[in-house]
Structure 1
Amino acid sequence: MSTLRNLAINALRAAGHRNIAAGIRHVSYEPFTRPLDLLGIV
């Protein structure tokens, strides 16, 4: 579980989010598309 958490935090930092909590809120507004965009999958 900690590996997945670190992956998420590092992906947010790589996308330019300095505040992790704000980055999670931003990504969670559209939970089916934004996380995939963040990872470059879609």
Structure 2
Amino acid sequence: MALGRLFYRTLSFMLSIVMGALLFKWTFDQDANILFEHLNKGKH
């Protein structure tokens, strides 16, 4: 019973870390692309 609760808490913790990292990556990539396009506008 205690082991199951510990496993559930650890799994929830790890999933929140993974989802946070993916959200950060997607947001950072999108913002970096927007900034890159803005800085290089008209240079082609």
- TM-score, normalisation: structure 2: 0.36
Q: Which has the higher contact order (CA 8 A, sep 6+)?
A: 1
Instruction: Tell me which structure has the larger Cα radius of gyration.
Output: 2
